[in-house]
Amino acid sequence: MTRLDELDDFTVEVPSWAYGNSGTRFKVFARPGVPRDPYEKLSDAAQVHRLTGLAPRVSLHIPWDLVDDWTDLRAHAEKLGVKIGAINSNLFQEDDYRLGSLCHPDSTIRRKAVQHHLRCLDVMRQTGSTDLKIWLPDGLNYAGQDSLRGRQDRLAESLREIYDALDDDHRILLEYKFFEPHFYSMDIPDWGTSLVHCLALGDKATVVLDTGHHAPGTNIEFIVMQLLRVNKLGAFDFNSRFYADDDLIVGSADPFQLFRIMAEIVGVDAHRPASKVNFMLDQCHNIEEKIPGQIRSVLNVEQALAKALLVDQDALAAAQRSGDVLGAHAVLMDAYETDVRTVLADRREARGLPRDPVAAFAASGYADTVAAARVGGQQAGWGA
């Protein structure tokens, strides 16, 4: 199992917003101990890395994570052993954005949305982040509400302004989403649309694939393969779904799908840092404990990758070449059916990490400590 050594430099980026309150449109359930500011979010996120060794970066979301002194926040992060990762812009929580942001029919609103990204670039410069992640919530609820095409043209123009403001080491990660928060159409509903814009923009624009943002039945690993093939896969937003953008723990709904995705990744060594693919989580924890949810998630990604690394590539290629349908499938399934939990626990132990990070977190008392300490103030949530 020597190829498992390639796990050594594999990392997952966790989102600051996973530690705040979240929910559905029906209800946001609050929890004791939820962070009230970016400092506390980073503290929580650092627990995940401390216990798994897998999550050394934390994505921020602007303006939710705005602070007065970025040098101080950065120092706080580094003291905790983590770094600031991708900067996420927020285009959905201003009243001005009711009918869109970068696609809005009114140029004043579009300008405001573009300006917001220029501020995000400033945050990137101060935090050392290189990834600007844009999830565009724009879309329509009714046929005829606005011009589908006009909105694409406005989008292209807005993105161009943002792109032109990038530093040399910056890149745009442009996300697509099938539906929600709009229901008749989204302005970037699929990977094809994201790719069209990235190709128009240039080399510094790449696609981010959120595993929960596809139509029912979509073969996601095919898209992973295709984006890698055209050199435009910038990042993942991992999570699980049964129906919509359910934002559940990655690997909890269809672990075989996650394995197949990682098998495409491994096939072209995209799990290695040189690929520059950023493996991020984008999940909400509505009813489950937040920090353990993130721990479980990064372990699930690692487990899927480990199994993918176990695929006997020679046997697979031979069976594929000979047209042995069941034989080739069996080679893949043999890797998937392998129980890697013990070998991964051994690896953790060898690196000074707990064999069972979830149990170690429970035993650490951290949850009780922060619940006791974080009294008063406003708990962070999607709206704060």
Q: What phi, psi does 348 have (nearest 5°)?
A: -60, -45
Q: Which span sits near a second copy by CB under 8 A: 40-48, 52-60, 77-85, 174-182?
A: 174-182
Which listed residue (25, 273, 375, 376) binds a second copy by CB under 8 A? 25
Nearest in space to 357 (alpha carbons), one of 345, 369, 365: 345
Half-sphere exposure of 317 (CA within 13 A, CB side): 4
Applying CB under 8 A, what is the total number of residues that bind a second copy? 104
- Please tell me whether residue 143 binds a second copy under the rule CB under 8 A: yes
Q: How far is the CB of 75 from a second copy (least distance, A)?
A: 32
Q: Which span sits near a second copy by CB under 8 A: 77-85, 113-121, 138-146, 364-372?
A: 138-146
Q: Which span sits near a second copy by CB under 8 A: 10-18, 51-59, 114-122, 178-186?
A: 178-186
Q: What phi, psi does 208 have (nearest 5°)?
A: -110, 130
Which listed residue (185, 204, 272, 318) binds a second copy by CB under 8 A? 185
Q: How far is the CB of 142 from a second copy (least distance, A)?
A: 4
Which listed residue (189, 234, 354, 357) binds a second copy by CB under 8 A? 189
Q: Which span sits near a second copy by CB under 8 A: 53-61, 69-77, 113-121, 227-235?
A: 227-235
Q: How far is the CB of 69 from a second copy (least distance, A)?
A: 29
Binding pattern to a second copy, positions 295-324, x when CB under 8 A? -x------x------------xx--xx-x-
Q: How far is the CB of 221 from a second copy (least distance, A)?
A: 7
Which structure tokens are listed for 362?
């429970």
Which listed residue (76, 126, 289, 343) binds a second copy by CB under 8 A? 289
Q: Say whether the peptide bond before residue 255 is cis (omega within 30 degrees of 0).
A: no
Residue 128 DSSP SS3: coil
CB contact at 8 A, 86 and 70: no
Q: How far apart are CA 96 and CA 381, in angstroms?
A: 20
Residues within window 254-273 making contact with a second copy, judged by CB under 8 A = 254-257, 260, 263-264, 267-268
Residues within window 26-55 making contact with a second copy, judged by CB under 8 A = 26-27, 29-30
Residues within window 56-115 making contact with a second copy, judged by CB under 8 A = 92-93, 95, 97-99, 105-106
Q: What phi, psi does 109 have (nearest 5°)?
A: -70, -40
Q: How far apart are CA 34 and CA 19, in angstroms?
A: 7
Which listed residue (158, 193, 206, 379) binds a second copy by CB under 8 A? 193
Q: How far is the CB of 174 from a second copy (least distance, A)?
A: 14
Q: How far apart are CA 268 and CA 276, in angstroms?
A: 12
Three-class SS string for 142-192?
Answer: CCCCCCHHHHHHHHHHHHHHHHHCCCCCCEEEEECCCCCCCCCEECCCCHH
Q: Say whether the peptide bond before residue 63 is cis (omega within 30 degrees of 0).
A: yes
Q: How far apart are CA 170 and CA 125, in angstroms?
A: 9
Q: Which is nearer to a second copy, 75 or 325 (CB)?
A: 325
Q: How far apart are CA 358 and CA 261, in angstroms?
A: 25
Which listed residue (248, 265, 280, 309) binds a second copy by CB under 8 A? 248
Sign of CA dihedral 351, 355, 356, 360: negative
Which listed residue (165, 196, 343, 345) binds a second copy by CB under 8 A? 196
Sign of CA dihedral 124, 128, 134, 137: negative
Q: Which is nearer to a second copy, 69 or 106 (CB)?
A: 106
Residue 363's CB is within 10 A of a number of other CB atoms, namely: 10
Q: Give the DSSP letter of residue 110.
A: H
Which listed residue (59, 89, 211, 252) binds a second copy by CB under 8 A? 252
Q: How far is the CB of 352 from a second copy (least distance, A)?
A: 24
Which listed residue (215, 274, 350, 373) binds a second copy by CB under 8 A? 215
Q: Which is nearer to a second copy, 66 or 148 (CB)?
A: 148
Q: Which is nearer to a second copy, 165 or 253 (CB)?
A: 253
